[in-house]
Structure 1
């Protein structure tokens, strides 16, 4: 009976480093991964037959076999052992079949099974659709290394001829992410989609990009369920709620906040302006800031660097966090949060009949602004709840 082991995760496997001698890490049910001194990782099956421990049966190279597939093979071999049959011959035949993984179609299956496992249902669906509808029918039979930039352009042109330039760009981005994954797994040496400029496929005026309510919900829900650091999740949420510029938020100091009065006063010196700017905080923003203050590691900065040198995080940190999420929101950039909030607020303002709420400094207008921003925060909450409901229903 194989010794019980804590099941591995893909991230744990990727983190395994070579040592002076090769070593094995167990996943359970006889499945182990052997890390070679060269850094290569090989799936093996450990078993006992007729009361004797047998040499490890080789399943195959980790680069070509996902954790899910390796577990399935281990279960198959365990069933053979239970019948008193050695799995070695079957494993050898299986390894011969794995040579197909140098074909893009098989590599794409590996990508979907591993890299997309933790993504949302909608993200997996749209990625799978792009692959199945346009990419794999055209180039699925090609070796990974034989796919060229011309192939990607041809696929995109066919999609554009259907009147879908945005879908063409989305498909190019799917291939780009697929090849980035294959390069990381050492299954590819170059990314043919990376050298195809986005502007050559579809143009989009980023100055007018506004996220819909549903996109706001999906974006913040994805951030909420991701594995990025909690302070970064809160920072991204606060960008939406406060309409602040990214630099204003990441460089903010605790001395600027009066959470009891729900006010954030950004000094004029930081704004390169003549006067301070007052940001009224909805109760959701106050709650996020209280959480940050409770767990703070800096007396000065709300978002301190993890290096512990009492300075704020780098301005690029939030961009990198968003990029790592692989958000399934077309043409989205971080600055769209601010434009999106402004647009939705303007609509709310017009509907409420309040005139020049965001510009006035009068006391009654400040009260109206508080009310309007609270309405905005409540709207954002409702979109997150809707996205959460959809995700739970899909699960």
Structure 2
């Protein structure tokens, strides 16, 4: 006799499992703990088998009967319902494991240890905000170029064109990783070249007029803030490293007797050791500073605690106080040095190496940190001397370096 909804609902547990039959091989299994499971007993190729159809009440009596009929149709077509269910489950798992988000996170975990923390945080943040909500659950091998473009258009529509280009680049890296690991056949991001407008490159505010640079250096010399900020401001023009590299500098990285600062790869944007030759002026400033902060880890400790470096906005805030808001930022020292050193005739490759700009060949970058080092040492001393003359108010400075 077929079951009723009321019988299923009121079925009580006993000290042994109970089977309440609904006919056609379908029955409700009531366990001693009160749990109720739908089961279907059937024969395939002369062998008796059992198929789980779900748990009551999540699967109602009507649902269980519908699943029984689907299984009977498979049997009528000489297919094993149990084998079909297993194959479907495996296919679902494969889809999840090969989703864009799963592959992207796997790619990220492979590469993040070789990136600077700030870079890795930006990469995963872009993917989580701008990619995963739209294509994260999609099988990576099925994502099309139009689908990818629609996702990038959403980023572009909020005015974040540069971010859209970076998301495009990161997605391409994920697709290429999927191809290499056998989970995709091609990279649809390559079909989108030219689909987005070129990014609007906004250069950091800087100063390249020698007279104006002299005024800036004299303003810095008169800065009356904390000692960490004063010394960082004095060194920033001479060393022209990235602001994050300067503020996180550690005393263990310096060899003042050798007049050299070696920034470890883990703190560099391109993950390669970087050597900064120190001019006599820079060494003198650092020796002064060592008497103040040398007992701690950081060269420029935070004003609140010596266990942390100064904050990332300290230099810019100080420049604002000096009257340069909107006219100059800490990163501008790099463009200032690059522009004038090129004008003065220094080797462009030596300048680029000293700026630690991106090396297309990552392996080459890892081993060529000392490239042009003798010339870079001469250049850094020349640059510090040049800045001294500008600060002193020199009227005429030769554009070309002397032999």
What range describes the TM-score normalised by the shorter chain of this pair? 0.3 to 0.5
TM-score w.r.t. the length of structure 1 is: 0.42
Q: What TM-score do the two structures reach when normalised by structure 2?
A: 0.41
